[in-house]
Amino acid sequence: EQHLDFDLDIAKKQSNDNPVYYVQYAHARIASVLRQLKARNLHWDEASGCAHIDKLDSPHERALLTLLQRFPDVITRAADACEPHQITYYLRELATALHSYYNAITLLCEDELLRSARLSLLKAVQQVLKNGLNLLGISAPWSM
């Protein structure tokens, strides 16, 4: 059995100090990008984005792709070991990578194929965040 330190003050904070808020914010941030896409009347073809995943060659994009690939194993290990905190740590790592990517890359770029690939990557990250939060019984908000 392990000891759990739970700081109620941090859990109540709506800041990056609160890991739940931080992960939820990553989910909402992706939703915001998708809303911006519509507001700017830009095109996104999800099938084309998936087909052109080879365009995702920045270190940030590779890191996100690698993290996404780990999700099934993280869930299996967490379930087998009855250690849901493994999911929490993974989601925090994925959210950190997403926020770094968001700050480093122009997501809504002019190159339509690259934009579609990037948005498809974002959509995949959003889905994994949502699935992970759902497994933990936590909501995945579309705005914050």
CA distance 32 to 119: 12
* pLDDT exceeds cutoff 70 at 105: yes
CA distance 126 to 131: 9
pLDDT tens digits, residue range 88-103? Answer: 999 999 999 999 999 9
pLDDT tens digits, residue range 5-25? Answer: 444 444 445 555 678 899 999
Q: What is the pTM of this model?
A: 0.87
At the top level of CATH, which class does the domain 24-135 belong to? mainly alpha
The domains of the chain are located at: 24-135
